[in-house]
């Protein structure tokens, strides 16, 4: 698939406002600041397709991108979670929308979970993994900002995350990634192709 042809389609505040549920899509999730927007921009080789989430207002929306004219294959940017300045009530609301989306979106083929390689598997990352597991939804974890660690340390982090997720290895795969260095792009594209074209 041509990821460089990705373009913004629509933002939706709730599942009910999402575009029609046909074709296939892959969703990106992660803690605020993990590097999710940068990963989407790197994967599509665009500078500002996914806005880096500095403003909490923007992050509450589910953002849909289509691959060129082909609206049957979509990338979905889910609200970042754990944004510190957001009131508890609003956080719970986002979580409800996320859970709703994961549970009920028929065209969803897989979830890319973006984590800072230095702080993987936060509490809510684990909640997301649990929800994905409940749906038998495959998950691909990007341990991003790998450029922040020396090669050996990054490898160790990868092994540690893999061993912590051993019980889920049928459903979950993990790789190192860096949006800054464009490291790991092919591996992600391969996974997205597998999901979107199957």
Q: What residues make contact with ligand GDP under the rule CB under 6 A? A: 30, 32-38, 52-53, 80, 144-145, 147-148, 178-180
Q: Where are the alpha helices (DSSP H) in the chain?
A: 36-43, 56-59, 88-104, 123-134, 151-164, 185-197
Please give the angle made by the CA atoms of 195, 118 and 84, to the nearest 5 degrees: 90
Q: How many whole angstroms from its chain centre is CA 85?
A: 21
CB 181 to ligand GDP: min, Å:
7
Tell me how far apart the alpha carbons of residues 90 and 26 are, in angstroms, rounded to a whole number: 25
- CB-nearer residue toward ligand GDP: 34 or 108: 34
- CB-nearer residue toward ligand GDP: 12 or 24: 12
What is the bridge-based pairing of β-strands 62-67 and 6-12? antiparallel
Check: CB of residue 23 under 8 Å from CB of residue 103. Answer: no
- CB-nearer residue toward ligand GDP: 128 or 179: 179
Q: In sequence order, what are the residues at sequence separation of 6 or more whose Cβ sits closer than 8 angstroms to the Cβ of residue 16?
A: none
CB 144 to ligand GDP: min, Å:
5
- CB-nearer residue toward ligand GDP: 104 or 189: 189
CB 92 to ligand GDP: min, Å:
20
Tokens of 88: 């508890």
How many residues are there in the chain?
A: 198
SS3 110: strand
CB 107 to ligand GDP: min, Å:
23
- CB-nearer residue toward ligand GDP: 167 or 186: 186
CB 166 to ligand GDP: min, Å:
26
CB 110 to ligand GDP: min, Å:
18
- CB-nearer residue toward ligand GDP: 36 or 109: 36
């Amino acid at each position: 698939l041509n990821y460089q042809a990705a373009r913004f389609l629509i933002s939706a505040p709730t599942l009910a406002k999402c575009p029609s549920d046909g074709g296939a899509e892959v969703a990106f999730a992660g803690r605020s600041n993990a590097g999710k927007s940068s990963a989407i921009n790197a994967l599509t080789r665009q500078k500002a397709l996914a806005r880096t989430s500095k403003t909490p207002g923007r992050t509450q929306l589910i953002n849909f991108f289509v691959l060129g004219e082909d609206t049957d294959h979509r990338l979905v940017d889910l609200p970042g979670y754990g944004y510190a300045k957001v009131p508890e009530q609003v956080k719970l609301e986002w979580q409800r929308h996320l859970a709703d989306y994961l549970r009920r979106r028929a065209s969803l083929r897989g979830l890319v979970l973006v984590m800072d390689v230095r702080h993987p598997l936060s509490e809510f990352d684990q909640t997301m993994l649990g929800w994905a597991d409940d749906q038998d939804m495959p998950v691909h974890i990007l341990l991003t900002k790998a450029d922040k660690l020396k090669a050996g340390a990054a490898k160790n982090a990868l092994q540690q995350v893999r061993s912590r997720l051993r019980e889920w290895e049928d459903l979950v795969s993990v790789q190192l990634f860096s949006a800054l260095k464009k490291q790991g792009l092919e591996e992600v594209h391969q996974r997205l192709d597998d999901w979107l074209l199957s």
